[in-house]
Amino acid sequence: MRYSSLREYFYKMHNFLYGIVLMPFLTFVVLYWQMREGNIEGPLRMNDWYRNIMLGACGLIITTDWILSAFLFSKGIKATHSLDSLGKKLDRYFSFILFRFAIVVSGTLALAIAFYLTESQYFTVMFVMNMFLLFFFWPTPSKVCDDLLLKGDERTLVQHKMDRL
């Protein structure tokens, strides 16, 4: 990613992440709204057996996504600690955080599809919980500093989004 200042770095990173998170959110909201209006119906809405299978499958998908994203993120961040410049560290951090969010959002899309198929409110609750958890991992300047183990001048630069000391 190209950026000319730390403010621009965070601006671009947050815009990418908002775009990734907005996709399943809008999908879910449109499906929910269309179902409430009665314009569409889930093909499996009356079948409890399919709903239970979908609940188990989506629970497994979400859990796997979170574990996989945490594992890959931590492994990638450890490799980033050895880089010599702040710019390289931030570029790698951007790619890892983008990958992490993409993995988790894929599971969130599965929840939207399962909600459409079964019209079960359990998927609504799971969707909201998953989105809520996602924002706990939102990359703030302090979180970026902690994840990259920045110290001294680098930490000050990133936390205050400064261009130079």
> What is the residue type of 122?
Y
pLDDT band at 44 (very low <50, low <70, confident <90, very high): confident
Fill in the DSSP letter of residue 39.
Answer: S
> What confidence score (pLDDT) does residue 164 get?
59
Distance between CA atoms of 145 and 13, rounded to whole angstroms?
15
The DSSP element (H or E) to which 132 belongs, if any, is helix 121-136
Give the pLDDT band (50/70/90) at residue 77.
Answer: very high
Residue type at position 113: I
pLDDT for the residue numbered 165: 41
Q: Where are the beta strands (DSSP E) in 9-123?
A: none
How does DSSP classify residue 85? S
Q: What is the sign, positive or negative, of the torsion defined by CA atoms of 18, 1, 101, 80?
A: negative
Question: pTM above 0.75?
Answer: yes
Is residue 45 within 8 A of residue 118, CB to CB? The reply is yes
